[in-house]
Amino acid sequence: MFLSHYIDHTIKKIKSQAANMLTILNLGLGVASLTAILQKELQLGLLLIFLAAFTDRFDGLVARKLNIESEFGKQLDSLCDLISFGVAPAFLMYESILHQLGAPSLFYIIIYIACGAIRLAKFNITENNGYFTGLPITVAGVILTLFTLGANVFPTHVFIYVTIGMALLMVGPFRVKKM
């Protein structure tokens, strides 16, 4: 009887935190990506950003499916997304390409990260109406990450435009239907 009650309680507790565990996994993958990037293992960093995007896709689905959406989960998700899809892709872009421009190129990645933070802050204080305003940071981060694959194909200035373009799209006034 006692053991059965304990097991039921534990299962309910795990279920109530399932989405948050996926969100923390997203964060872990983002931090692992940053670590890889700082060690000049850029391909591993890129892969880890994509894995973070995969987990980010499912944390919200799990929360809705299990009916465990919460304000805490929303805030936690945004903080983790800033690392995995703001900071990590920006550092990947810098280490892959923009470092060639020297210290002034830090300006571009700071703008990108700042716009990502602004976009997430706006998202957290607005009502969920089935639409995102501006490009979601996950999408911007994945696009920025994908562009680093073209490091040997495009001239350096293209990456500046892409970085600033993604930043501006994140804070843009247009609406994107949630999937």
Task: Kindly compute the dihedral angle of the four CA atoms of residues 68, 69, 73, 79, in this order, to the nearest 10 degrees.
Answer: 140
Q: What is the pLDDT of residue 15?
A: 66
Q: What is the pLDDT of residue 132?
A: 86
Q: Taking residues 83-105, what's their average pLDDT?
A: 96
On the question of pLDDT at 3 being above 80, the answer is no
- Give φ, ψ of 135 to 5 degrees: -70, 125
Q: Structure tokens of 158?
A: 């293209």
List Cβ<8 Å contacts ≥24 apart for 47-51.
48/88, 49/84, 49/85, 49/88, 49/89, 49/92, 49/141, 49/142, 49/145, 50/142, 50/145
Burial status of residue 69 (CB atoms within 10 A of its CB: 0-12, 13-18, 19 or more): middle
Q: What is the pLDDT of residue 17?
A: 82
Q: What is the pLDDT of residue 11?
A: 59
- pLDDT tens by residue, 9-60: 555 666 668 899 999 999 999 999 999 999 999 999 999 999 999 999 998 8
Mean pLDDT of the chain, nearest integer: 91
Domains of the chain, start order: 2-177 (1.20.120.1760)
pTM of the model: 0.90
State the number of CA atoms in the 13 A half-sphere of 93 facing the CB. 33
177: Cα separation from own chain's centroid:
18
Q: Which residue has the higher pLDDT, 126 or 43?
A: 43
Q: What is the pLDDT of residue 157?
A: 93
